Amino acid sequence: MKMVSSCRLRCLLLLLLSFTASISCSSAAQRDSKLRLLLHRTPLLGSKQVRDTQRHSDRQLRDRQLTDRQTAERQTADRQTDS
């Protein structure tokens, strides 16, 4: 009986993890589209300024995605230690 509940718990944790990852990807995609929209609104800048702005925006996006991934991994590790 204990084996069955352990299996169910693992399945529920995997389901929760995939749901969390899907939400994280969705929010990252929304941020990405907002950043692209912002970049397309600033065509009057010189080409060097556009490249610098684009690099900065790309760096911010990567940092946010990394933070989201690290948070999800931490939450998963916490859940696993709790069970």
Render pLDDT for 10-58 as a digit per residue (tens, 0 to 9). Answer: 888 888 888 887 777 777 777 777 777 776 665 555 677 667 777 888 8
Residues 16, 10: Cα–Cα separation, whole Å: 10
Q: Note down the domain range covering 72.
A: 2-82
User: Could you give the dihedral angle defined by the CA atoms of residues 53, 59, 65 and 71, in that order, rounded to the nearest 10 degrees?
Assistant: -130
Domain total in the chain: 1
**pLDDT, position 41:** 62
Smallest CA-to-CA distance from 17 within 62, 71, 82, 55 is with: 71
Which helix (DSSP H) or strand (DSSP E) does residue 74 occupy? helix 47-82
45: DSSP letter: S
**pLDDT, position 1:** 47
